[in-house]
Amino acid sequence: MLAFVRWPGKIRHKSLRLVLRGPINNRYFSSSSSSSSSSSSSSSSRRIVVVVVLKVVVVVVVVLVIVVVIVRVVVVVVVVVVIVVVVVVVVVVVVVVVVVEVVIIVVLVVVVVGLVVVGVVEVVLEVVVVLVVE
């Protein structure tokens, strides 16, 4: 395939290094200057691409850092909440066990005192019955 450049009034083959004369940005240039101009524009476009890629990488890194920090904070909060809940449950269980033990001890004391009172009353009644009968 042949690639041709159309210039005011002339057609030149691209592979030829001929001088092309025409106003571009108020300057005349040759095909060699056009190649240097195109290489500078391609390097400029490469720089733009590199800058855009770097900006995207920076944004991605910043977002990842923010996500990691948020995840760490959430994990710490969850761990602290779990520890607090476990401590509260253990304290409640200990308090309930202590209260139940105290209630059991009080009930046992009441039963023992009641048995002692009943025993004493029985002995007193037997003594009274014996004294009354004689």
Residue ranges per domain, the chain? Answer: 4-133
Residue 29 is predicted with a pLDDT of 44
Note the pTM of the prediction, 2 decimals. 0.47
What sign does the CA torsion over 22, 26, 30, 34 have? negative
| Digit-coded pLDDT (tens) for 64-122 | 999 999 999 999 999 999 999 999 999 999 999 999 999 999 999 999 999 999 999 99
The Cα-based distances of 72 to 15, 27, 59, 67, 105 in angstroms read 61, 60, 20, 9, 49
User: How far is the C-alpha of 101 from the C-alpha of 8, rounded, in Å?
Assistant: 109
